[in-house]
Amino acid sequence: MSSGNPPPPVDAAVFRTLMGRWSTGVSVVTARDGPLDAGLTVNAFLSVSLTPPSVLVSLTRDADTTPVIERTGLFAVNFLAADQRPLSERFARQVPSAEKFAGLSFHRGSTGVALVDGTLGSVECRVAQRVPTYDHILLVGEVVHEELGRDAPPLLFFRSAYADAEGSDRLHLGTREKR
Ligand SMILES: Cc1cc2nc3c(=O)[nH]c(=O)nc-3n(C[C@H](O)[C@H](O)[C@H](O)COP(=O)(O)O)c2cc1C
């Protein structure tokens, strides 16, 4: 049944502000195609199911890492700790991937993808489903290997800025900063 007038169009600026009020963790998604390591900072991540263990990431088509995952069908999600903010900044830059990995401390997972050292942990995934959605691609990954890392405070993202948790019950919001 019609409820009368159509709703007014969504205000893009309000929508962006509102989405910024959804706080998240921060990860670095890595992939590898032969000698090429690639990676980008991602906060559009969620755990999908326990049986089978699966996760979802939303990647922009514009990112250099996206076609690497599309080619290989493999990726890893590395959960950043609060003291790894520089890594988040590094992997959010659109620079050649060699620059992102220069001097980075990492080890190879069971699929050969780079797993960043010093994180809270990593999951290695095989792409189970891909759903092209507007300018992004939603990738559902079945977890093939998991590693627990440090039991440390997480890096958080809120209001387009980094935040970090002190202990487990106090949030310190960073200064406003566009990503
Ligand atoms: C905190 C933060 C979260 C981000 N989350 C995502 C995301 O979920 N998906 C995405 O496609 N890009 C995200 N980005 C942007 C990418 O990290 C950025 O476009 C990066 O330069 C892509 O690198 P690449 O082209 O080398 O793959 C995020 C950036 C920041 C700073």
Q: What is the per-residue pLDDT across 1-23, written as a single tens digit (0 to 9) for each?
A: 556 899 999 999 999 999 999 99
**pLDDT score, position 141:** 98
Domain that holds residue 110: 23-160
In 6-24, which positions are buried (b, 16+ CB within 10 angstroms) versus exposed (e)? Answer: eeeeeeeeeeeeeebeeeb
Q: Is residue 8 part of a domain?
A: no
**No. of helices (H) and no. of strands (E), the chain:** 4, 13
**Residue whose structure tokens are 């890392």:** 149
Atom of ligand 1 nearest to the CA of 60: 11
Domain count, the chain: 1
Q: Given a cut of 90, is residue 165 above it in pLDDT?
A: no
Mutate which of 40, 97, 178 to test ligand 1's pocket (most atoms within 8 Å of Cβ)?
40
Q: Is residue 170 part of a domain?
A: no
Share of the chain above pLDDT 90, in %: 88
Using pLDDT thresholds of 50, 70 and 90, give the confidence band for residue 170: low
For 130, counting Cβ atoms within 10 Å of its Cβ (0-12 exposed, 13-18 middle, 19+ buried), the class is middle
**Residue whose structure tokens are 């699966």:** 54
Q: Is residue 77 part of a domain?
A: yes
Ligand 1 binding pocket (C-beta < 6 A) is 26, 38, 40-44, 58-60, 63-65, 88, 91-94, 97, 157, 179
How far is it, in rounded angstroms, from Cα 43 to Cα 64? 17
Q: Is residue 55 part of a domain?
A: yes
**pLDDT score, position 4:** 84
Kindly report the CATH number assigned to the domain that includes residue 43.
Answer: 2.30.110.10
Average pLDDT, the chain: 93
Using pLDDT thresholds of 50, 70 and 90, give the confidence band for residue 142: very high
Q: Is residue 174 part of a domain?
A: no
Q: Is residue 65 part of a domain?
A: yes
What pLDDT, in 10s, does the model give residues 29-55? 999 999 999 999 999 999 999 999 999
